[in-house]
Amino acid sequence: MKILSKNLTRRTALTALGAGVATLAAPPFLRAQSAKTIKIGYVAPITGELSQFGETDRYALERIRALLAKGLQIGGKTYNVEILDRDAQSNPNRAAELAGDLIQNKEVHIMVPASTTNVVNPVAEQSELFGVPCISSGAPWQANILPRGGADKAFAWTYHFFWGLEDIIATFVNIWRSVESNRKIGLLLPRNLDGEVWGNKEYGLPPALRAAGFEVIAPSLYQPRTNDFSAQIAEFRDKRCDIVGGLVYPADLRTFVVQCAQQNYKPPIMTIAAGLLFASNVEALGNLGIGMSTEAWWTPAFPFPSSLTGETSAKIAADWEAKTGKQWTQPLGYSHANWEVAIDTLKRSADPLNREAIRDSLKKIDLQTVVGKIKFSGSPHANVCKTPIVGGQWIRGAKYPFDLKIIESSLWPILKAEGKLEPLKWGA
């Protein structure tokens, strides 16, 4: 009995001592009792097959954490901001699981899924289900809205900013109209959700192209990771297509392009979505990559300064290149803009610890970010804001092996085209 009581006393004493030490060791901002903490859930594709899109996310996050180290001033009060970042491993099931945990166990006030349909859709679904404001980007808006049943209804909690299929299609058509050709287009599209939407006979590429006066040769969709494209190449060659267009992933694109050269089919124009987004994809094509064209939704030439730091896009890209030693990539702009939108939303909200107040603030956002203006009105869907997209062509670079030259900006005249589309040289 005596021993027990002695033990108890010692344990109590130790606990009290421990708590005292912890208080002293804590950083000053935690000791300030008045400061409350805003929790932001951040889910990104850091690893896995989509990790190229997530490459800039951690970098942007570190910069934001540094910026918010002293807390965030909202309505005269200072709040601590805690960003809970999670890696979805490019897996939609994992993204949904992480979002559920962040919402229910960590009680985040706002969700910021970084990019790609695989990540933003499941996170948005969880957010809609549990009533948490969610702001996403990095996927065509149709891909975010339509699979979640948003075709003819508005969502209460989830908002998305990016371009739409109609924009990329218009951009591609503008690129192809800008140069002389026989106006015959061979379309290469994958057998998956992306490919089916792009190839759709009512609202996809084929009707838009036919309306613009092009002849469309569209073999049926190819299986991603196909090892042989000789069937499509034979068809394009027989029909004498001057232009090859479509949506092709990097590995398939190299298989296709190398095989085109082997099969002696060398069209002067190739404009491909997705597979040519990153300079590393073009480097993988080697000399064959010179002159390939693609879409661009953020480049260092974008003219808007950051609403958070005042930096220009050129400065953001230069900092990235200096810190990482790697060339800028398009997701860098969105990795930054996501935080512009999230922080602005919190700043304007009546109560940044109340999910509904944050949602109401998000709904009313009117902010110029590095990727364009964010405002959820006057767009094709109540939860969507459309951001700019332009067309670019990969040319030999000065500092890095390849640079993206802007060749089309008539849809979004936010910046000047640097030149016209030049025909492909096929490594010559």
**Which residues of this chain interact with other proteins, rule CB under 8 A?**
47-49, 51-52, 54-55, 191, 219-223, 225-228, 230-232, 234, 250-252, 254-255, 258-259, 261-264, 278, 280-281, 284-288, 426-427
**Minimum distance from residue 115 beta carbon to other proteins (Å):** 13
Tokens of 264: 């002696």
Q: Return the SS3 of 159.
A: strand
Distance of CA 426 to the CA centre of its chain: 30
Decide whether 214 or 278 has the Cβ nearer to other proteins.
278
Measured between alpha carbons, how far is 379 from 387 in angstroms, rounded to an integer? Answer: 10
**Minimum distance from residue 206 beta carbon to other proteins (Å):** 15
Decide whether 73 or 262 has the Cβ nearer to other proteins.
262
Decide whether 41 or 54 has the Cβ nearer to other proteins.
54
Measured between alpha carbons, how far is 327 from 386 in angstroms, rounded to an integer? Answer: 26
Instruction: Count CB neighbours of 119 within 10 A.
Output: 34
Decide whether 292 or 342 has the Cβ nearer to other proteins.
292
Measured between alpha carbons, how far is 410 from 423 in angstroms, rounded to an integer? Answer: 20
Decide whether 93 or 220 has the Cβ nearer to other proteins.
220
Decide whether 46 or 301 has the Cβ nearer to other proteins.
46
Measured between alpha carbons, how far is 200 from 216 in angstroms, rounded to an integer? Answer: 13
Q: Are strands 72-74 and 158-161 parallel, antiparallel or unpaired?
A: unpaired
**Minimum distance from residue 232 beta carbon to other proteins (Å):** 6
Decide whether 9 or 220 has the Cβ nearer to other proteins.
220
**Minimum distance from residue 268 beta carbon to other proteins (Å):** 16
Tokens of 202: 């009512």
CB 232 within 8 A of CB 221: no
Measured between alpha carbons, how far is 72 from 64 in angstroms, rounded to an integer? Answer: 11
Closest CA to 363 of 339, 385, 334: 385
**Minimum distance from residue 279 beta carbon to other proteins (Å):** 9
Beta-carbon contacts of 9 under 8 Å, excluding residues fewer than 6 positions away, are none
**Minimum distance from residue 390 beta carbon to other proteins (Å):** 23
Q: Are strands 402-408 and 390-396 parallel, antiparallel or unpaired?
A: antiparallel
**Minimum distance from residue 319 beta carbon to other proteins (Å):** 19
The DSSP 8-state label assigned to residue 372 in this structure reads E
